[in-house]
A and B are shown apart, each in its own frame.
Chain A
Amino acid sequence: TQLLEQSPQFLSIQEGENLTVYCNSSSVFSSLQWYRQEPGEGPVLLVTVVTGGEVKKLKRLTFQFGDARKDSSLHITAAQPGDTGLYLCAGARPNFGNEKLTFGTGTRLTIIP
């Protein structure tokens, strides 16, 4: 059973459009990270959210942590070809005695020039 469900699994949009990807769980997380991964490379950390309801912005990327700390979203404004990649969310539950990160299956994003 996948603890973190990401949707959509695949998304292909035109350059300049906006998009949102989602990361949902029935479990509460102490923190949630978003990573982007290029083919053949390791995941690169984009952001960490810790507080329920927290919103963080990274240039054209906006990340939100759900009030109950069970879900998160990533919104990209005016997508560019450089945004293409696999976006992974990962949750940590150290307050529950579980130190490791649990990853979602990812959203593969393709931005068409």
Chain B
Amino acid sequence: DTGVSQNPRHKITKRGQNVTFRCDPISEHNRLYWYRQTLGQGPEFLTYFQNEAQLEKSRLLSDRFSAERPKGSFSTLEIQRTEQGDSAMYLCASSLARAAEAFFGQGTRLTVV
């Protein structure tokens, strides 16, 4: 399978704990995006990378959130001191620069209890 891969698929954590999610994009794609989706809503943009450079961050990305893409390959999204409001589906997508289409992974469902 050469699509976008996200791990883990599901994560349950206690409030206050830190969590980290991983995304492996389609290998030749140089752009990588993180989105968050809550129940009944469309995905909301969090941040995106072109190669290893983080080019844009949403206001939704508070100081507790950090994303990295070392060497322009896989990416990680870390949430520190999780809150119940962080419960959501976290989606990763990748695309070629200058291409219109983004391809999504299956997402990581985070539940903060």
Interface residues of A (CB under 8 A from B): 4, 6, 30-31, 33, 35, 40-45, 48, 50, 88, 90, 92, 94, 99-106
Contacts and interface: CB of A to CB of B under 8 A. Distances in A.
Nearest to B97: A99
Contact of B42 (A30, A41, A94, A104): A104
B43 A43 contact: yes
Interface in B44-99: 44-45, 48, 50, 55-56, 91, 93, 98
A21 B55 CA distance: 33
Contacts of A44: 104
A100 B41 CA distance: 17
A33 B87 CA distance: 26
A42 B91 contact: yes
B105 interface: yes
A106 B100 CA distance: 19
A40 B98 CA distance: 29
Contacts of A40: 107, 109
Contacts of B45: 100-102
